[in-house]
Structure 1
Amino acid sequence: MSTPWQLVRPEPSVRWRLVLALVLGVAAAGSAVALLATSAWLITAASAQPPILLLLVPIVAVRAFGVGRGVFRYVERLVGHDAAYRVLGETRARVTGRLEKIGPTSQRKGDLLARLVLDVDAVLDLWLRVLLPVAVAAITAAATVALLALLLPAAGAAVALAVLIACTVVPWLTAHTAQRAERNIAGARGDVAATTTETLLTAADVLAYNAVDSVLDDFSRHDARLAAAERRSAWSTGLGSALLVVCIGGASIAALVLGSTANIGGAVFAVLVLTPLALADVLGGIPAAAQLAIRVRAALGRVHELVDTPDALTEPTDPLPLPTGRDLQVKLLRVGYDDGDVLDGLSLDMPAGSRVVITGPSGSGKSTLAAVLLRFLEPRGGEVLLDGVDLARLEGDQVRSVVGLLTQESHVFDTSIRENLLLAKPGVSDLQLWKALYRARLGMFVEKLPDGLDTMVGEHGARLSGGERQRLAFARLLLADRDVLVLDEPTEHLDEETGRALLADLFAAAGDRTVVLLTHRPELVPPHVPRQLVCLT
């Protein structure tokens, strides 16, 4: 996506709703101006006590404009918000779709969350508080100036000048004074969100190491930066409102002076003097819109920066069909990241149903190899073959329908055991769920729970032990029924006895599947398991 606008553009089915919201907004604002103008004419004309028949039309018009203003405003808000939320939903779908292709990012979790929630929500501000209000104000102000020009050209010119200043100079000055603050607000919100998220996730360690004060000081520093930016923004908002009042007041005074010397009736004179005051409400949102536009641009720029990240891998334009064999071969593999290669010249032969244990110290490339086997990462050289077919010639989803992954931090969702398992294969029967649990040696434990499969496991599986979480994740992997199982440090956070028992059960439950174990603790592998041992350095 080359520009932020392409990211937030409305689909054709939504555009007519936005146009309808614009029309309704103009009708509501026009009713407000017409209400004041008609009321001024009616009160002034009625003071002369003319025949009541002469006042019936303006009386009905006042009622109609008064009711119409509320009705049009309500429907405009209804249609406008409906359209804006539809655009927001479409934008969120585009962002989520791009993130799926980008793969894991280096963004801090809190900052990523802020971009996906707060910054994407700027789409609502863009349409509801910037584009639609400015368009409504411009059209209504132009119509008002045209009306006043018909009554007294000189007064129309004076009001036109005031409107021009209010629509150009005032928002420019407001935006200019708030430019730096508004640009900093989006980033400051991301820092606050990131700090908050990290603090909540690491609360236990922070308390254990008595680091509460330093963490709170860091949070206070980011919060103070955000508060300072918002105060500067508020000051600019106040400046814009004050200047707008000066412009509208000046327009009314100019109409008063010019009308007092013109040969016009009292009712027309009242309309000339009072009607510009109605523009205060119509134009009141323009300074804020100009200021908010800077914040929206910064927020959408952060989202665009995220989704404009190059894809982690390139899908083939003409993918080959998935081969039937499950032999895996790694030939002279070279892969790495921006700071250099992690693996260079690695070759492996993994026949279907084999057991391969790949060991090495932290940073030797074990997790990188797992990412390549699941086609999350593009090799820089060499190739990985599935039954003789290069993985680069297959779509990522094809590869992942064959290769499954169990990591040291496989996510357990804050829901029931049943829902965690159904993630792998939605709609399967309870019998299949129990089979997967028993094969992972977790069935007896779940049976003893009062709610069985409906037991809630807590956030990140907090109500389960480390071994139980891994067994639940492995049951989910077995339920997915992949032919190649990649186990990336599954015993990392477990004690030796639990880790040894877990690996014995994993290899036993794998059956005739290929198992690729990536670990720096090869001594935990049961001695009776035939395996190929590869050491990375």
Structure 2
Amino acid sequence: MKGKTWLIPMLLPHWRRVFLALLLSTLTVTSHIGLMATAAYLLARAALHPPVLDLMVTIVGVRFFGITRAVSRYVERYVSHDVTFRILSEIRVKFYQSIEPLAPARLRNLRSADLLRRIVADVETQQNLFLRVLAPPLVAVLVLTGYGLFLARFDLRFSAILAAGFLMAGLIIPWIFHILSKGIGGRVIALKAKLMVRVADGLMGITELIAYGQAESYLKDVREINEQLRKEQRRSAWLSALSSAITGMAANLSMVLVLILGIVLVEKGRLSGVNLGMLALGTLSSFEALFPLALVPHHLEESRAAANRLLEMLEAEPAVKDQASLTVNPQEMSLAFHDVCFKYDEKAPWALDHVSFSIPRQGKVGIVGASGAGKTSVVNLLLRFWDYNEGRIELGGHSIRDYSQDEACSLIGVVTQRTHIFNATIRENLLLAKPEAGDEELVLACKRAKLHDFIQTLPKGYESFVGEGGFKLSGGQRQRLAIARVFLKNAPILILDEAMEGLDPITEAEVMAEVDRLMEGRTTLVITHHLAGLESMDEIIVLDQGRVVERGKHSELIQYPGFYHKLWDRTFTRRVQAHSPT
């Protein structure tokens, strides 16, 4: 399944609309031919001064073809764009369904701007596949067949001239320009993606660029990429314009040849003179079906390049494959790691190296360690974002591999260091945890998270927008919103992954009070490199470079001059500095 061919089967379920669009497009061109040919015939007949009644049928024909052309063009646009937008919608859904299992394992090395480019621009490029790549050649064949048969009634040589002109303008010229423009579409798509990534990076890091005096250098880089893109687009436009011009020349040449042959036949008495203009202008008008073919190479190249970029994501294998046929009903919410080994790729070092620990139902275990010790890898495995290499992880007495990712996530509530807040209302952000929740549940969750009173001070309450990334909220309010989500979800297992990171000591103490209430009655795993609040843990696991180096209760570990003792001294010093007068 390469290139654009994987998109073509998506047209088959809509074959009725596709067929109707092709017929309407053919009718539009045919009406144009009929309009010009009938008008030419009317002028020729009128020059002979026949009775007006003899011209009535022809006059009605001109009006009929004129109205038919306008109506059929409108309906054709409506139907063809309806088909296109339906297919684009299906492509978006298919693309999202394909990348969802890839997150975050397969997407972690992909730039967000590039991914957005694929979802938006590369999908939008596929609208040209039917409208400007597949439909024009089919319409041209239908017009050639229909009008060629009409010309054959007068002389087969008229049909031969038309066929030669169509062959030249519809096949040879596009083929030549396809060779000349080869690679341009792919380079345009790649440069657009590169430009979007650079601009997005610049907008996100504009403060740093200005602070370090690199703004002008960055703009220079953006200008260079933009100039490369402009050159490729200008070359593509130049080739497309030249192709259209040569196609127009072929159309006029075919008309002239039909006119010359017609004059010869008129002189020989084998063709009526009033039909001469009709055949010539009809031939010229029939080339309306071929003018879109001049742009087919350009749109074909861009569509194929964009389709290949989409296909890279569609064919990517997820890091974890669900066993959809197996449904697990755990009897108790316990967690256990048995000699688990895990690495993110074959050449990477072990992120977890023979890690073992267990958390009984409603138990509380803390995992501590410096950055890069492997703490977050534990969360990634529990949420089934990745699969472990060796050992066994049990959730509720069953292997975690027996759960689908959705099943595992439904049992776990997570509060992370950087909770993403969507640019939506407070209500909509809360409903992510439980879409069917009512107002009473939302209020109760926010009261338990100590967020309700703040929400009530806002002009629109729960309907207040929080801005991009929740920038209208403070750090503590964002964390409280995340805690309210977990209260609303009411999952039996709770994971706190650096939930206090980035908060000032006062806000940290306030949020920690809500977290303590959140842990009640839940199996809890606390992951942090700050040790505040770990005194209440049933057990503390100390990780260093993916290995368990120490374990025990806080009161035991604090007595031993090891890794945990050093972390505790660092935390104590931080607390003293935070509360000391400046």
TM-score range normalised by the length of the shorter chain: over 0.9
Against the structure 1 CA distance between its residues 327 and 491, is the aligned structure 2 distance closer, same or farther, given a 3 Å change threshold? same
Match of 2:374 in 1: 365
Q: Indicate the residue corresponding to 2:385 in structure 1.
A: 376
Structure 2 CA distance for aligned equivalents of residues 4 and 259 of structure 1? 44
Greater shift in the superposed pair: 290-299 or 208-217: 208-217
Q: 1 CA distance for matches of 2:281 and 2:461?
A: 73
Say which is worse superposed, 142-151 or 296-305, in terms of deviation.
142-151
- 1:182-214: CA deviation from partner (whole Å, max 9, x where unpaired): 111111121122222222333333333343223
Query: What is the SS of the residue equivalent to 1:121?
Result: helix
1:475-507 Cα shifts (integer Å, max 9, x gaps): 112211111112222223223443344334313
Aligned letter for 2:25?
G
5 Å matches for 1:24-173?
Answer: 24-104=24-104, 105=107, 106-173=109-176
Partner residue in 1 for 2:488: 479
The whole-number CA distance in structure 2 between the counterparts of 1:8 and 1:142 is 25
Please tell me the residue identity of whatever aligns with 1:499: E
Kept in 2, the 8 Å contact 1:162–1:247? The answer is yes
Equivalent residues in 2 for 1:405-420, closer than 5 Å: 405-420=414-429
Q: Is the 8 A contact 1:504 1:526 kept in 2?
A: no
In the TM superposition, residue 252 of structure 1 has moved relative to its aligned partner by 1.3
Kept after mapping to 2: 8 A contact 1:503/1:526: no
Q: Cα distance, 1:529 vs. partner?
A: 4.7
The alpha-carbon deviation at position 251 of structure 1 amounts to: 0.7
CA 1:434–1:208 in 2, change beyond 3 Å: closer, same or farther?
A: farther
Q: 1:61 to 1:500 in 2, by over 3 A?
A: same
Aligned residue among 229, 243, 255 for 1:226: 229
Question: Residue 13 of structure 1: CA displacement?
Answer: 4.9
The C-alpha deviation readout for 1:356-393, integer Å capped at 9, x for no partner, is: 22122222322222111011111122221012211111
SS of the residue corresponding to residue 285 of structure 1 reads helix
Q: After alignment, is 89-98 or 525-534 more displaced? A: 525-534
Deviation per CA, 1:378-421: give whole Å up to 9, x if none.
11222210122111111111111111222222111112212211
Match of 1:275 in 2: 282
Distance 2:308 2:130 in 1: 16
Q: What corresponds to 2:544 in structure 1?
A: 536
Q: Equivalences for 1:299-378 in 2 at 5 Å?
A: 299-338=306-345, 339-340=347-348, 341-378=350-387
Matching residue's letter, 2:256: I
Distance 1:291 1:151 in 2: 38
Superposed CA deviations along residues 102-129 of structure 1, whole A, max 9, x for unmatched, are 2221221111111001111123111122
Q: What per-residue deviation string (whole Å, max 9, x for no partner) do you get for residues 55-101 of structure 1?
A: 22222111111110001111111111111111111111111111222
Q: Check the 8 A contact 1:327/1:351 in 2, yes or no.
A: yes
Question: Which amino acid letter does the alignment assign opposite residue 444 of structure 1?
Answer: D
Is 1:249 aligned to residue 252 of structure 2?
A: yes
User: How many pairs are equivalent?
Assistant: 536
TM-score, scaled to structure 2? 0.88
Unaligned runs of 5+ in 2: 546-582
**Cα deviation 1:35-65 (Å, max 9, x = unaligned):** 1112122211221123334322222111111
Structure 2 vs 1, CA of residues 66 and 9 (structure 1 numbering), >3 Å: closer, same or farther? same
CA RMSD of aligned residues (A): 2.0
Deviation of residue 20 (structure 1)?
0.7
Cα distance 1:429–1:230, how it changes in 2: closer, same or farther (>3 A)?
same
Gaps of 5+ in 1: none
Please, which of 276, 291, 304 is the counterpart of residue 297 of structure 1? 304
**Do the aligned partners of residues 213 and 421 (structure 1) sit closer, same or farther apart at CA in structure 2, a change above 3 Å counting?**
same
2:273 matched to which residue of 1?
A: 266
The residue number in structure 1 matching 2:195 is 192
Q: Which residue of 1 aligns with 2:520?
A: 511
CA distances 1:145-198 after superposition (whole Å, capped 9, x unpaired): 332233222232122111101111111122222222111111112112222222
- Superimposed CA distance per residue, residues 311-334 of structure 1 (whole angstroms, 9 cap, x where no aligned partner): 121111531422121111111212
Distance in 2, matches of 1:524 and 1:134, equals 71
**CA deviation after TM superposition for structure 1 residue 530, in Å:** 4.3
Q: 2:177 aligns with which of 171, 174, 177?
A: 174
Q: What is the SS of the residue equivalent to 2:495?
A: strand
Whether contact under 8 Å (1:357, 1:531) holds in the other structure is: yes
User: 1 CA distance for matches of 2:327 and 2:356?
Assistant: 23
Tell me the equivalent position of 1:387: 396
Task: Say whether the 8 Å CA contact 2:367–2:525 is kept in structure 1.
Answer: yes
Q: Does 1:284 align with 2:291?
A: yes
1:429 aligns with 2:432: no
Q: CA deviation at 1:32?
A: 0.4
8 A Cα contact 1:485 1:515, kept in partner: yes
User: What is aligned with 1:524?
Assistant: 532
Distance 2:8 2:331 in 1: 43
Secondary structure of the structure 1 residue equivalent to 2:34: helix
Deviation of 1:8 after TM superposition, in Å, equals 5.7
